[in-house]
Every structure is written in C-alpha cells, then in structure tokens.
Amino acid sequence: MLRSKIVSTGMYVPPQIIKNDDLAKMMDTSDEWIRQRTGIEQRHWAADDTSTSDLAYEAALVALKNANMDKSEIDMLIVATLSPDHEFPGTACFLQKKLGVPGIPALDVRQQCTGFIYAMSIADQFIRTGMYQKILVVGAELQSKGLEKNDQGRDVAVLFGDGAGAVVMCATEVKDVKTDSHVLSTHLYADGTFAEELWVAAPGSGNSSDRIGTKEIEDKLHFPQMNGKTVFLNAVKRMPEALQAAFKQNELSIEDIDLFIFHQANLRINDMIAKQFNIPEHKVFNTIQKFANTTAATIPIGLDEAVRAGKLKKGMLVASAAFGSGFTWGSAVYRF
C-alpha cells in the first residue's frame, strides 16, 4: 500500500543564546522562577536582520542534505508558522524563492503550536493519494521580535524561542506495517470556542476600520495574550485524548511506542502526560530546556535532535502530540 515516510530531518537555531538570567535583566523574573514553572533554561533569539524564512531555509538545507536529495526533486513545500515574514504572501513563498524552486505548490499552515502535526498530516494525505511524492515540511518560528520584553509581558516572553525544524516526506510502498518506515496515522482537532484564550489580536480585520491603528498599539494588542491556566488545563486533557485516538486506530499500547516526541510548551505539561500514561522517562525526548517553546518548530527540532543524540533510529515507532492556540491539537504515530 502507498504511504508516506520521513526520510530525513534537519534543524537550525540562530546562534544567539538568551539564558534565563539575561531575561532577568529585562523584566522581573529569575532563573529559578522560569525553571520551576516551565523547565526552560535558555532559548535562541534571532538577529534583527533575520526572518522566519531565513531560519526555515537553513533547516531545509540540512534536511535535504541528510536525505541526499537535490532541491529540484521536491514536489511541494509546506511551512507551519505563526510568525510569518509578512502578513502576506505566505512564508512558504519566501522560502521557495530562497531555495530557488519555482513552480511547485507552496503552502502555509497557521495552526500555531499544532502546526507541524497539521502540516505533516497534509503532506501524508497528498502522498497517500499519489498527487505528490516528495514534500518538504518545515516548522519555523521567529517569535522574539513579537514579544513584550518587560514586566507586563513577562509571563509570555519567557516561554518562547526562535528556530526551525524540517523533514522530507516521501512516498513509500509498505509491505509490512510492523517493520516498514511510514506514517501510520494522524489525528487533528480544534475548538474555536477558545480562540481568544491565546492569541494576538492585531493586526487584523476584526479590529477597527484599520487593521492596526494607534488604539490597538496603545492597548498592546499586537503582543501575545494568554490565559495560562486555561491553556495548561486543556493541554493536559487534549494531548492525551489525541494520543488515545492514535493508539486505538492502530491497536497500539504504550509499550509498543519506542519514543515520544511531544510539543515543547512546558515541561510540566509533558511530565504530567507521561505520568498519566505511565511512560518511562527514557522514552520521552524533551528539548524545551535548550530551545524553549519554538511552537511549530518544536517537534521537527526534537526529531533532529533525537537523531543526532542517537535516541531515534531507523525502525523505531514514534508518537507525537501537540496542543496550541485556536485551540488546536493533534497526534501522529509513525515508524521512523
């Protein structure tokens, strides 16, 4: 049967490291406060002359190199991001220009922290139908330029980092579902009832006569706003539900999964999910300590980090889950 598989991974983070103590110089916080509440120790922030597509480009080059594939072989580009280069056109178009691959479809996915799971699912469907054979999927974020780096924005500003992760997904003929590398299934969900619990209100057509005006800026509507308690409670409920759906469809148990790579929003969320399922600590691969929350980039960054650390090897069964703004959430199970 025709399925998709991940043939390579790649990642890139900007060189500048911002430690928790560095943030303490900008706002009323401390290394201890951030570590205890999030597990984050540091994050990478991009230089002023860098864009999201720049980060995506670097990660894409690594993924293509690791796949031993020329960029001309790619049939489609999918970029998941909540921090686009510009309001329009999509960041995938800017990445396409930098890669020099005109003509192929270039798609943006705006599903925030669940963006990579959504993008991976879209690529999987295109490949399963036979429409495309080789798709470059990128999660990329440059969030540092959009954070309110003061006491008022502290609770959000300490959480986020910049970076990009990429995978190349290709068509494959699966003969043995128990051993052959392929995406077993993806599961996507959303509930717009909670859209304003984690959002950036401006710019947007939902505001006054201007997409963004003096009032919106004075009210700081162009900075992220988050109801942290509501987000946390929904995340620890919805991510396990998405995992259960994947396990049920594929008739799997926790013991069958070799490695869990979750979205990296808060270490406490991932620890709580692991406890709910009694997942052994060695089966959960976290990167939030080093990179903070890179939203759509956390899972592909985690995949590449796990490969380079020797934690993820060919043939291993992987489960991923994510939760984010929208609210959106989802899961995927795939044999690497």
**pLDDT tens-digit series, residues 226-257:** 999 999 999 999 999 999 999 999 999 999 99
| Residue 115 DSSP SS3 | helix
Quickly name the fold that domain 2-173 has.
Peroxisomal Thiolase; Chain A, domain 1 (3.40.47)
Look up residue 99 and give its two tokens.
């890669």
The bridge status of strand 42-44 relative to strand 76-80 is unpaired
What are the residue boundaries of the structural domains of the chain, listed by start?
2-173, 182-335
Q: What angle do CA 294, 114, 303 make, to 5 degrees?
A: 60
Q: What pTM, to 2 d.p., does this model score?
A: 0.97
Do 2-173 and 182-335 show the same overall fold?
yes
Mean pLDDT of the chain: 97
Please name the CATH architecture into which domain 182-335 falls. Answer: 3-Layer(aba) Sandwich (3.40)
Amino acid at 330: G
317 pLDDT tier (thresholds 50, 70, 90):
very high
Q: What is the pLDDT of residue 88?
A: 96
Closest CA to 63 of 166, 216, 195: 166
Token match 């009694």: residue? 278
Look up residue 27 and give its two tokens.
């706002």
Give the largest CA-CA distance in the chain. 61
Amino acid at 199: W
- Is the CB of residue 232 less than 8 Å from the CB of residue 239? no
Q: What is the pLDDT of residue 213?
A: 86
Closest CA to 41 of 330, 293, 329, 321: 293
Which residues lie below 8 Å from residue 200, measured CB to CB, with a gap of 6+? 146, 221, 222, 223, 224, 225
For residues 273-286, give the mean pLDDT: 96
- Is the CB of residue 328 less than 8 Å from the CB of residue 112? yes
Q: What angle do CA 311, 317, 318 make, to 5 degrees?
A: 70
Active site residue ranges: 113, 263, 293
- Is the CB of residue 163 less than 8 Å from the CB of residue 305? no
Q: What is the pLDDT of residue 208?
A: 74
**pLDDT tens-digit series, residues 145-156:** 999 999 999 999
**pLDDT tens-digit series, residues 74-118:** 999 999 999 999 999 999 999 999 999 999 999 999 999 999 999
**pLDDT tens-digit series, residues 165-197:** 999 999 999 999 999 999 999 999 999 999 999
